Amino acid sequence: MKKLEPQLLPLHVGSMPHTDPTAACDLTFQHFSQIPTWPQLPRRSTLENMYIQYSERFPGVVLEPESNHIYVNREADLDPGLEQLYLAYLENDVSFGVVSADYAAGLYAFLERATEHSEGFMAVKGQVTGPVSWGLRVIDQNRRPVLYEEILADAVAKFLRLKASWQEEQLRKIFPTTIMFVDEPYMASFGSALIPIQRHQVITLIEEVLCGIKGLKGTHCCGNTDWSIMLETGIDILNFDAYGYAYTLALYPDAVRAFLDRGGVIAWGIVPNNDHILYETADSLLGHLERAWDRLARKGIPLEQIVAASLITPACGTGTLSKDMAERAFQLTKQVSTLAREKYL
């Protein structure tokens, strides 16, 4: 799998506010023609909630769609389900990780329509929820996160590895260069007293999922975290909310330098996914981005190296926005990319 030449191209995170998968895909191909992402559609169905979406076949999982609630019933006999999961893992049976159309209508629409638009593709992108976030968000019958139970935490990572492997296998049928993101929003809470997990646990869990990905590997966190942890994993692309937290990356210059030196890419989430997009412009957002680059440059990382390793994205998914605001976020992302490419490339 060849490395990606980022070229300041635009990319989007995944979720969209649409309920029509075809319309969502068309918007994706329109604004992100070189690196399209299949759209997650949480408003279409609660089954497309990012935690429920990847829950099919997990041992003991219980869904209450009317309340958007998911939990694992540990009072049930989980052994048969765990045995099936571990057997699939040991045999690398990625079919165990299938995500059905009811859970990901946008993925199936994307797979069906992508070949019509593939002439200009550089890569296609997919995403799974990461094991730290899934394991902290999904609780047991006593409201205790499953990540805190050693056997289940290990099962979650292996389960999501199969989900990522299956999805990547589908995407490679339409284009050989794939990017799979492991999304970890809960890493924004790492280090707090409420989330008592250790650095080595985070890295081990995320690495388990990454090891099931053959192509390019990325991660997304839409808040502040210890970026040195994420950069220590085997990711090729780090995507973060640069609009709100660009300054935090410069706190880890050694980790960023090592990441870039090994060919890593930073996907700068410089376009806000809130009301701020109503008064920001492509010029003002490029200014924000250049100030972020300057912070790293002042830490001794060459600006040329930073620019050469950059993608442009929204700060996070657009699933919580209105359709009009989501489209504006996409337009701004493309416009910032175009301005930056004209100025720097």
**Which of the four CATH numbers 3.20.20.210, 3.20.20.70, 3.40.250.10, 3.40.50.150 does domain 21-344 have?**
3.20.20.210
Nearest in space to 289 (alpha carbons), one of 96, 10, 2: 10
Residue 84 has which token pair? 């099936």
Q: Using CA atoms, how far apart are residues 89 and 162, in angstroms rounded to an integer?
A: 7
Report pTM. 0.96
111 burial level (CB within 10 Å; 0-12, 13-18, 19+): middle
Q: Using CA atoms, how far apart are residues 73 and 62, in angstroms rounded to an integer?
A: 7
CA distances to 63, 158, 204, 302 from 154, rounded to whole Å, are 21, 6, 9, 40
Rg of the chain in Å (alpha carbons): 19
Give 190's pLDDT tier (boundaries 50, 70, 90).
Answer: confident
Angle at 340 between CA 314 and CA 7, to 5 degrees: 80
Q: 102-147, pLDDT tens digit by residue?
A: 999 999 999 999 988 888 999 999 999 999 999 999 999 999 999 9
How does 174-209 read in b/e, with b if 16+ C-beta sit within 10 Å? bbebbbbbbbbbbbbbbeeeebebeeebbbebbbbb
Residue 201 has which token pair? 């646990």
Q: 253-306, pLDDT tens digit by residue?
A: 999 999 999 999 999 999 999 999 999 999 999 999 999 999 999 999 999 999
Q: Using CA atoms, how far apart are residues 328 and 326, in angstroms rounded to an integer?
A: 5
Give me the pLDDT at residue 317, please. 94
Question: Residue 47: is its pLDDT beyond 60?
Answer: yes
Nearest in space to 59 (alpha carbons), one of 136, 152, 128: 152
Strand partners of residue 140: 72
